Amino acid sequence: MSSMAYTRDDILRTLRAAVGRSSAEQTELTFIGQREASTRFAENVIHQNMLSEDGRVTVRVVDNGRVAVSSTNDLSNDGLDSAIADAYAIAAFLETDASFPGLVESPDARDGDAFFASTAGYSAEDRALSVREIVDIAKRSQLETSGLYRLQTDRIAVVNSMGTEQYYQGTAAELSVSAADDDEFAQGWGIGASRDVNRIESAAIGKTAVSRANRSRNPVAIEPGKYTVILEPAAVGQLLLFLGFLAFSGKSYAQGRGILTGRMGEQVAGTNITIHEDPFMSAYPGVPFDYEGVPKRKVALIENGIARGVVHDRRSAAMAGTESTGHALPADNPRGPYPKNMVMATGDASIDEMIKSTTRGLLITHFWYINYLNPMRTQISGSTRDGTFLVENGEITTPVENMRATPSILESFSNVEMLGNEPSIYPQYSVVMSVPAMRIIGMPFVEETG
């Protein structure tokens, strides 16, 4: 039976009964169910419609100080009992895990307004009509489009032998569109994301991609060096995403290898930079609990440029002598916690005002193929993509060939002269961020070799 056929009560009752049959001292079962419907298109033609459903239960047992994990896609009683027995058997061969504080009874997490029937019921025909609208816009400019329209319904439940029972159901819709000419000398891009598919404005996203592509025709090369840059929200989100991985994990912080270890209370960015982890942001609410069943908290990460905090699961919190903030990943994931709903405070400037106040600089749509260069300096490398433009004397003058940026993220966030007054939602790698545009002075660029 499809995992989506199970009701909330079915899932909780099944997990509760399985936990009760376990012979381990402590047992935790986490159910993750997902239904994904997607449409892919390229060269102005839909080439794939896909519908997939999956349900998985991760088992964690704690016995005599040993912690073991197993998982199964078999949601029957026999399947769950077998997975529990596997974890119990594995535990007998493991060393005692003194760093794991054990399971805990957690209070009920607050409800999140994250499920929309409109998204769950959005059909392949609905998606095709949106794609056709985008293609028609592109054809009027002799451009070709490619992209992905993806919709998800996610369900998560956590039940443990200490009395924790949590359940969540949410939807997500995301549309990304690229537009280009035959030779790809003109390139543009647009994206939209929401829990509610009715908030995805397909035509507007298509027009944005087409407009950027038209504006980027016949790009010129400019010399590498340091430039004032105006980053669209997506580009800001990509910097923030990697900063989240590098700086805000409680695991690396507690192990003494984090960027912010020993720096709490210090100035690490400009006074105009404030970043919170906020699972309850109204524009895109997150899952209200983590994969240990601990309710999520809003966490101040950077306030007015001062380092204030990191996110924790129970293991990293115990190592750091504090409490979990509700950011555990599934038990079979070794990476440790990281923020998944970051919000950056806005400023008072529009992108037009940033452009008008720039004597010479670059307007950047977003980055591509980002990699770490020097993690301890939060330095990355990424190429500009889908619309890079030279700004001179307050005006956009010419498109520019893609360039490779090599900034330190914290140094860049220390050199922000202007912040946008309108936040945008940007999703990537299961992280959702609310970010404004920004103008940064002195971002370094090197010669693009690829």
Residues 248 and 287 reside in one and the same domain: yes
Which tokens is 244 given? 């989240």
5, pLDDT greater than 90: no
Q: How does strand 431-435 pair with strand 341-344? A: parallel
pLDDT for position 241: 96
Give the pLDDT mean for 1-13: 80
**Residue 213: inside a domain, yes or no?**
no
Lowest mean pLDDT across 2-6, 74-78, 246-250 = 2-6
Cα 115 to chain centroid, rounded: 18
Looking at residue 68, which CATH number applies to its domain? 3.30.2290.10
User: Domain total for the chain?
Assistant: 2
pLDDT at 2 over 70: no
Any domain includes 444:
yes
Domain boundary at 140, 173, 208, which? 208
Model confidence pTM above 0.85? yes
* pLDDT one-digit tens code per residue, 387-409: 999 999 999 999 999 999 999 99
289 and 163 share one domain: no
Do 379 and 265 lie in one domain? The reply is yes
CA distance 358 to 437: 14
Alpha-carbon distance of 256 to 41, in angstroms, equals: 46
Q: Is residue 280 included in any domain, yes or no?
A: yes
Answer yes or no: are the C-beta atoms of 105 and 293 closer than 8 Å: no
pLDDT above 70 covers a percentage of the chain that reads 98
- How many other CB atoms sit within 10 Å of the CB of residue 182? 10
pLDDT at 250 exceeding the cut of 70 = yes
CA distance 172 to 7: 19
User: Quick check: is 404 in a domain?
Assistant: yes
Structure confidence by residue, pLDDT tens digits, 139-178 = 999 999 999 999 999 999 999 999 999 999 999 999 999 9
pLDDT on residue 442: 96
pLDDT reading at 1 higher than 70: no
pLDDT greater than 70 at residue 4? no
Same domain, 99 and 184: yes
**What share of the chain in percent tops pLDDT 90?**
90
Residue 116: φ, ψ to 5°? -130, 120
Mean pLDDT, residues 237-265 = 93
